[in-house]
Structure 1
């Protein structure tokens, strides 16, 4: 999607705006939360990143996404333990 394109090219502000617009139009668009979490993490906004990753996990229920969900769960657990 366009937000991921901007994210991959280092345009974090544009990617963030597109993700926020996507979730405002479709609050269940789980992968927008995932991208938004990565953007927040890149900006060292750890609490915001954890929130976005949790939103992703809450919404993403596809069996095909199990592996990515497991990775995100592990990331969230690691971030929470670092924050101590």
Structure 2
């Protein structure tokens, strides 16, 4: 590694990856506990009530670290990218 080369990092991409990973982990925890993860996550987003999310595998704690608008933004971004809508 040359000390004269500029090193780059992108905080935004790391944050997006973190949000995506948290949503994925929460989804998995809900499935493991036998809940319908889509219904539970939608309930949480709409109400802000953390009891929609199981505490299994620290899912409730993880999702509480995110703002609900961050979750919506990630879900919409993923939908658009997955469906080639951009």
Specify the TM-score bucket, using the shorter chain as the normaliser.
Answer: 0.3 to 0.5
Larger radius of gyration: 2
Normalised by the length of structure 2, the TM-score is 0.33
Question: Higher relative CO (CA 8 A, sep ≥ 6), structure 1 or 2?
Answer: 2
